[in-house]
Structure 1
Amino acid sequence: MSENASATELTSQYTAQVTADLERNTKEQERVGVEIAALQEQLASLQRDHTVLVNIQQAIDAVPVPDSTAPPSGNVPVPAPRKKAAPSGRAERTRPSKKTRPSRKTAAQPAQTAGQTAGKSTGKSAGKSAGKPSAGKAEAVQTAQATLVDLVRRHLTEQSEPRSAAEIATALGQAHPERAIKTTVIRTTLEGLVAKTQAQRSKQGSSVFYTAADPSRSAATARSEEQPEPADA
């Protein structure tokens, strides 16, 4: 009888140990699956941003650069027509004096001034046209889509009451109709935030609700994660 009791007790201990290990393994699989889904969403967002930046870079490379070395059109000085030669007997009387004859340098100054003014205006317009792609690039980067994790975390922070995964998916779908938001993905993202103590989960009957994490608790968890482990003696 004593041997049978010992065998039964040993079997019960093994059964309890195996059950606990199996439950722990199942929970660990769920946690890893949640983190993988969140990382896949972040990767998809980065790939979309990369596509936008590549398109902007191609648009910048396609803008033609004006040639500043070419002379401006319409500003080339035209030489004055030569006067007919006077007869030999009257050459001395009809030739103008040196004081009244305009020098070539003085005649060319207005043309040079006009050319410099046109060159400056051309440089300014070229600078403005070259600056437009940079402004478009900055605007496109600012309007790049945020990750789904950021959207969910921000939505929880703005709520004063717990929300279910379906309610959060509906609200985000209405706020961002350009994104295909599914309830399963939202639930996976919420579980990832709960695992990182960035959100809290509560259960009311068979329904699960989520709220934003306590800021003091999140700060304490972040400090504990950043604190280095003591070195072995």
Structure 2
Amino acid sequence: MSAPLISGGTQKGRSIMSETTAQTTGLASQYSAQVTGDLERNLKEQQRLSGEIEALQEKLTALQHDHTILVNLQQALGVPAAPVAPEAEPATAVPAPRKKAAAASGAPKQAKAKKTASARKAAPAKKQAVKKTAAAQSAAPTVAPTLVELVRAHLTGQGEPRSAAEITTALGEQHPERAVKATVVRTTLEGLVAKNQAQRTKQGTSVFYTAIDTASATSAEQPSPSA
């Protein structure tokens, strides 16, 4: 009687272990799929943030460059950096004798004469300041184009679709001083597609981009008078 009971208990134990193993395998596969999806979303978010950071860095560099030019122009024009505080109103003068009043009546004439002389002396200085300003403007270097402008110009000059890798290689050869990355170029291209300034096409597993004429796209979006 003891042998059948032992064999039955063994079979139940095996069935329980197999069910537990199956449940564990199912949970493991679910967690694996969830982790894979989270990793993909994390990488996409990193690429997006990298593109935004580089775009902001380029804007900051351009603003710093403009600030330097404006400061140089301000110094050339002789404009004070800080606002001038308003002058205090003169106190009410005590009435003076008639003789002193007569002398005071000639003071405005002398002040006008001094102002006229100082204005004549300041005229050549103003002309020199204007010349310095024109020279500084002509000698000021042009602001470097942003990556968005470079990508847009490259797409416009191409007669056929281009991939992100091809555009990255071309821009790297044209602008070796700039560290052009494929991830940033791809993010920039997607931004142009979102703004209806570029078109994305897919050929197999590859993605290609072409420029869209801004004028034609705007006229196509505007409703007709009959509508």
Q: Give the TM-score, by structure 2 length.
A: 0.50
Counterpart check, 1:61 vs 2:74: yes
Give the letter aligned to residue 170 of structure 1.
T
Residue in structure 2 matched with residue 210 of structure 1 by the alignment: 208
DSSP-derived class of the 2:155 partner: helix
Question: 2: CA distance between counterparts of 1:193 and 1:5?
Answer: 52
Aligned sequence identity (%): 25
1:1-233 map, 5 Å:
2-63=15-76, 65=78, 123=123, 126=126, 129-130=129-130, 133=133, 143-176=142-175, 179-182=177-180, 185-191=181-187, 193-194=189-190, 198=194, 200=200, 202=202, 208-212=206-210
Question: 2: CA distance between counterparts of 1:9 and 1:195?
Answer: 46
Give the letter aligned to residue 183 of structure 2.
R
Contact 1:31 1:195 in 2 (8 A): no
Give the letter aligned to residue 32 of structure 1.
E
Report which structure shows greater RCO (CA 8 Å, sep ≥6).
1
Aligned pair in 2 of structure 1 residues 32, 201: CA closer, same or farther (>3 Å)? Answer: farther
Residue in structure 1 matched with residue 221 of structure 2 by the alignment: none
Residues 145-180 of structure 1 show CA distances to partners (whole Å, capped at 9, x for unaligned) of 232134224433554433234421232234445x32
Q: What is the deviation of 1:56?
A: 1.0
Give the letter aligned to residue 144 of structure 2.
Q
Aligned pair in 2 of structure 1 residues 156, 15: CA closer, same or farther (>3 Å)? Answer: farther
Residue in structure 2 matched with residue 72 of structure 1 by the alignment: none
DSSP-derived class of the 1:146 partner: coil
Q: What is the deviation of 1:134?
A: 7.2
Question: 2: CA distance between counterparts of 1:15 and 1:138?
Answer: 68
Provide structure 1 residue ranges, at least 5 long, that are not aligned to the other structure. Answer: 66-114, 220-233
- Please tell me whether Structure 1 or Structure 2 has the larger radius of gyration of its CA atoms: 1
DSSP-derived class of the 1:63 partner: helix
Q: What is the deviation of 1:7?
A: 2.5
Contact 2:162 2:210 in 1 (8 A): no
Question: 1: CA distance between counterparts of 2:150 and 2:59?
Answer: 15
Aligned pair in 2 of structure 1 residues 56, 191: CA closer, same or farther (>3 Å)? Answer: closer
Alpha carbon RMSD of aligned pairs, Å? Answer: 4.4
Question: 2: CA distance between counterparts of 1:27 and 1:201?
Answer: 22
Residues 189-233 of structure 1 show CA distances to partners (whole Å, capped at 9, x for unaligned) of 30464488546474656xx44314889xxx9xxxxxxxxxxxxxx
Contact 1:190 1:210 in 2 (8 A): no
Give the letter aligned to residue 12 of structure 1.
T
Contact 2:163 2:207 in 1 (8 A): yes
Contact 2:189 2:209 in 1 (8 A): no
